[in-house]
Chain A
């Protein structure tokens, strides 16, 4: 069955960096685009970033552009989110979510989500 497992969350000081990972299994990872979506405590969902199935196209929310970098390693079935210059407002649970469409250019709808990893930016 499809599984997405996020890791790498933790507590970091403002201005610091953190790298999140999403380990995928149960499907052909190299054939699907993957997204990062976050949710601040008690708030709604916010789309963060997307990488196409082959890593050729990437898109970012304005709130993270220039600070966050999404990448993927199709040989290891792993998605990453490098987060630099972190701010208090980046505090959230970060989810990875899979595109439902095979080798598409998108955007498309999601079908599966991971369980999330909590990032806390605080001094």
Chain B
């Protein structure tokens, strides 16, 4: 199985900060990488697919990059509604696997 490792597991940031989350795959997955946002008590929301493509309706302050084994999710200017947990997921092969999550908290 492909292991997905996210870092950091949590971070504190202020409104307006630029935030970057890293996801590493245990083997190459080309660009078959998705990012999700989850708020407490809510279902995950799909943000990005194919490493860098935004899902419909997702604001452009979210961006993704990377290919192969190393990927990043960047939030350009953190807003109150962005405080949540973020997950990466590979869909290169079954079983699909998720990173452990990064909790973005208010500083």
A residues apposed to B, CB below 8 Å: 35, 37, 44-47, 50, 59-62, 95, 97, 100, 106-116
B44/A47 in contact, CB under 8 A: no
Q: Report if B92 contacts A (CB, 8 A).
A: yes
Q: Report if B68 contacts A (CB, 8 A).
A: no
Query: Contact partner of B97 among A47, A50, A108, CB < 8 A?
Result: A47
Beyond A95-B44, A109-B50, 19 extra complex contacts between A and B, CB < 8 Å:
A35-B96, A45-B36, A45-B38, A45-B87, A45-B89, A47-B98, A50-B96, A61-B95, A62-B1, A95-B43, A100-B49, A107-B32, A107-B93, A107-B96, A109-B32, A109-B91, A110-B34, A113-B43, A113-B45
Tell me which residues across on chain A come within 8 A of B42, comparing CB atoms: 115
B residues apposed to A, CB below 8 Å: 1, 32, 34, 36, 38, 42-46, 49-50, 55-56, 87, 89, 91-101
CA distance A107 to B49 in the complex (A): 12
